[in-house]
Amino acid sequence: MLREGRGFSPAEIAAFLVCRSRVARSLWPQAARGTGNGRNHQDLVTAGLKPRPCLLDSRNPGWTVVSLRGCTMVPFWYRRISHPHCLLATIKLLHTAIWAVLACSILALPFAAFTRHFGWALGLTAFVVCECGVLAANHGRCPLTGWAARFTQDRADNFDIYLPNWLARNNKAIFGTLFVVNELIVLWRWLVQP
């Protein structure tokens, strides 16, 4: 006899997080696609552990379940997060955030110099030089560019970052020049201080 389940408790969800590593890696793509789910879902209903329904998709019960030692559940959002477009968007967002911090560091150098905060100027310079070292170690490319290239065939100048194409193309020239000019301003202000 089948009976309506109560849904998963927080303890059962925590058990999923602990024991999902016992699933063979070859089954994860299968679980993400939701193949072979009907019987496993039926077993859960019989056991009184029917998953709560998903409000986003009436065909999706909210969880994709793989019955391997009875402990592995793949949430419906796993398929969305692991989709190549989502991963590419995450990499682009991270790359843009790192670029913004680096650009702000370069632009803040003259302000630190004119307010005589040379310790801040030194810290900002060290940060920018470290980033230049990372770029030099990767043959002039950001490591995130290689990661983003795995998820798209697009090779425009801004395929890996949320910047206009012209800025992504001329990024190193623009900010390299600004960095040198701002460093000269910092040096000049340091030499003329009383």
Which of 33-47, 76-90, 111-125, 159-173 is predicted with the least confidence, judged by mean pLDDT?
33-47
CB neighbourhood size of 140 (10 A)? 9
Q: Are 92 and 161 in contact (CB under 8 A)?
A: yes
CB neighbourhood size of 128 (10 A)? 20
Residue 116 has pLDDT above 60, yes or no: yes
**Mean pLDDT throughout 138-158?**
90
Q: Which two tokens stand for residue 35?
A: 């193949």
User: What are residue 65's phi and psi, to 5 degrees?
Assistant: -115, 135
Domain ranges of the chain: 10-80, 84-191
Which of 77-91, 153-167, 175-189 is predicted with the least confidence, judged by mean pLDDT?
77-91
Give me the pLDDT at residue 85, please: 80
* pLDDT tens digits along 70-96: 444 555 555 555 677 888 999 999 999
Signed CA dihedral, 37, 40, 46, 48: sign only:
negative
Give me the pLDDT at residue 78, please: 55
Q: Helix 171-191 crosses helix 118-137 at what angle (to 10 degrees)?
A: 150
Q: Are 78 and 35 in contact (CB under 8 A)?
A: no
CA distance 124 to 112: 9
Give me the pLDDT at residue 187, please: 95
Give me the pLDDT at residue 81, please: 58
Q: Can you name the residues that pair with 63 across neighbouring β-strands?
A: 75
pTM: 0.59
Give me the pLDDT at residue 63, please: 43
% of the chain residues with pLDDT over 70: 57
Give me the pLDDT at residue 160, please: 92
Q: Residue 31 — pLDDT band, cuts 50, 70, 90?
A: very low
List the one residue out of 70, 78, 68, 97 whose CA is nearest residue 29.
Answer: 78
Residue 5 has pLDDT above 60, yes or no: no
Largest CA distance in the chain: 90
